[in-house]
Amino acid sequence: MTARTKRIVVVTGAGIGIGAASAKAFGALGDHVIVTDVLEAEGHATAEAIVASGGSAEFHPYDVRSTAATDALVADIEARHGRIDVIIANAGIAHRTPLDELTDEKWDLTFDIDLKGIFRLVRAAAPGMRARRSGAIVALSSIMGVAYGWDEHVHYSAAKSGVVGLVRGLAVELARDGVRVNGLAPGYIRTAQLLSEENSLGPVGAEKAAEFIPMGRLGLPEDIADVATFLASDGARYITGQVLVVDGGLLVGRY
């Protein structure tokens, strides 16, 4: 633990994948991590892993679709810890759905989690951050939201594109109050989502994708987590409103 103040860091969707890796990365830095997820067993496991490694963490079950749950979570954290310093808004879903099967309900579910879920949490936490004139928010978009289209995932691509606009708008609105807002757009990352045959590339498709990534491999959740810790750090103190692509050179390598 360094001499710096232990930050209070909230990570959504922290039970698995990028969220879990991000929570552990902040825990390794000596921060107190509020691990949240609808996956309770996995969320508890992430928090326990941080503590077992000598870090500080707690788990809270949390569904980003609920405004009441969001407001209660923020109020509880601020009451017990006095503040929220960092938010990693990672919770998201992606369900393969052809256009002719894409109902209003499926569209709304994706937007409610992948886009509105970020908005809800930032809206609730922003007053405290503004009052303290300090805060860093990192929202997860995707290369499917900044450059690529994804067939049978138009709802996902649209929601992740919305994250880019949300990041820009929030960054401008909160900048003068000392709060920074940035985004991350991961490429192909080795997660349960990517390896799902039903909803994404599957194991075979993922390995084929690795062949045309210039760096020659799929990304790991830790590759994204380390950039998240940077964006939340003082090293990124003059960066706001940006969405960093972390994809092993995929986008620039495709012609």
255 is catalytic: no
**How far is residue 213 from each of residues 93, 247, 250, measured CA to CA in Å?**
24, 8, 5
Beta bridge partners of residue 179, listed in sequence order: 135
**Token pair for residue 14?**
């922290």
Contact of 128 with 78, CB cutoff 8 Å = yes
d(C-alpha 56, C-alpha 9), whole Å = 10
> How far is the C-alpha of 77 from the C-alpha of 131, rounded, in Å?
16
Partners of 182 in the β-ladder: 138
Distances (CA, A) of 12 to 96, 138, 202, 225, 249: 22, 11, 24, 13, 27
The span from the CA of 73 to the CA of 81, in Å, is 12
Alpha carbon distance 212, 209 (integer Å): 6
For the chain, counts of helices (H) and of strands (E): 10, 7
Pick the catalytic residue from 62, 156, 238, 255.
156
| Residues 26 and 12 sit within 8 Å (Cβ to Cβ) | no
Catalytic residues, by residue number, are: 156
